[in-house]
């Protein structure tokens, strides 16, 4: 009889301990992403007036500078320059550059021109959990490596690079964009 009672007490203890482990509170759900803070700005953000679209000769200079930096680092890049409308002016795929990145470089440049801002800003919005930029334009590319080109305070086009990591793309494109300063 004593062994039956001992067995019953042991079984009760096992069930009690097991049920407490199973009854632990579930991990808290990830809190919903907060909307970007800031409120209503007094001035229109990224209000860069449009100027005369970049010409082929200036586009060649920017691409040459970006390509020289990519070669120096032994990075194979696709480099695109677009006009103020986001239409291609010049595209270059370096020898051995990833084929899929050709269209990506053009779309980065197009995004930077049409939205008048660096594409990294859209990337940062996505990284914070907000996907609304994807509803703005089906060609929007939210990845570092697209820079608007501003000459005399006016937007004349944009440059986009792709083939490496986002930071590599941005570094190479910035070399070309910095020629506008």
- Is residue 34 assigned to a domain? no
- Is residue 89 assigned to a domain? yes
pLDDT exceeds cutoff 80 at 67: yes
- Is residue 17 assigned to a domain? no
Overall domain count for the chain: 1
Give the per-residue pLDDT at 20. Answer: 52
Q: pLDDT of 89-148, one tens digit each?
A: 999 999 999 999 999 999 999 999 999 999 999 999 888 888 888 888 888 999 999 999
Give the per-residue pLDDT at 2. Answer: 59
Contact present, 82 and 157 (Cβ < 8 Å): yes
How crowded is residue 34: how many other Cβ atoms within 10 Å of its Cβ?
9
Average pLDDT over residues 37-47: 74
Tell me which of 133 and 60 has the higher pLDDT: 60
Tell me which of 127 and 2 has the higher pLDDT: 127
Largest pairwise CA distance in the chain: 101
pLDDT exceeds cutoff 60 at 159: yes
Average predicted confidence (pLDDT) for the chain: 85
Average pLDDT over residues 157-178: 96
pLDDT exceeds cutoff 90 at 62: yes
Q: How would residue 43 be classed by pLDDT, with cut points 50, 70 and 90? A: confident
Burial pattern 135-168, b for ≥16 Cβ within 10 A else e, equals eeeeebbbbbbbbbbbeeeebbbbbbbbbbebeb
Please compute, for residue 176, the number of CA atoms within 13 A of its CA located in the half-sphere on the CB side.
34
Burial pattern 48-58, b for ≥16 Cβ within 10 A else e, equals eeebebbeeeb
What is the share, in percent, of the chain residues with pLDDT greater than 70?
Answer: 79
Q: Give the integer Cα–Cα distance in Å for 149 and 135.
A: 25
Q: How would residue 156 be classed by pLDDT, with cut points 50, 70 and 90? A: very high
Q: What is the CATH number of the domain that holds 63?
A: 3.30.450.150
- Is residue 88 assigned to a domain? yes
Average pLDDT over residues 32-50: 71
Show the domain range for 160: 56-180
Give the per-residue pLDDT at 68. Answer: 97
Average pLDDT over residues 61-79: 97
What pTM did the predictor assign? Answer: 0.76
């Amino acid at each position: 009889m004593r062994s039956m009672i001992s067995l019953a007490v042991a079984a009760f203890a096992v069930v009690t301990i097991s049920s407490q482990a199973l009854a632990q509170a579930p991990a808290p759900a990830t809190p919903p992403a907060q909307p970007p803070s800031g409120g209503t700005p007094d001035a229109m953000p990224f209000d860069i007036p449009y100027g005369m679209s970049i010409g082929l000769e200036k586009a060649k200079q920017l691409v040459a500078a970006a390509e020289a930096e990519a070669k120096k680092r032994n990075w194979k890049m696709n480099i695109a320059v677009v006009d103020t409308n986001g239409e291609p002016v010049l595209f270059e795929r370096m020898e051995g550059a990833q084929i899929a990145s050709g269209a990506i470089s053009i779309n980065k440049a197009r995004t930077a021109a049409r939205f008048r801002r660096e594409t990294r800003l859209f990337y940062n919005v996505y990284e914070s959990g907000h996907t609304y930029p994807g509803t703005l334009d089906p060609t929007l590319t939210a990845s570092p490596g697209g820079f608007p080109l501003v000459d005399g305070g006016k937007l004349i086009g944009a440059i986009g690079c792709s083939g490496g990591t986002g930071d590599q793309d941005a570094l190479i494109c910035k070399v070309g964009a910095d020629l506008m300063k």
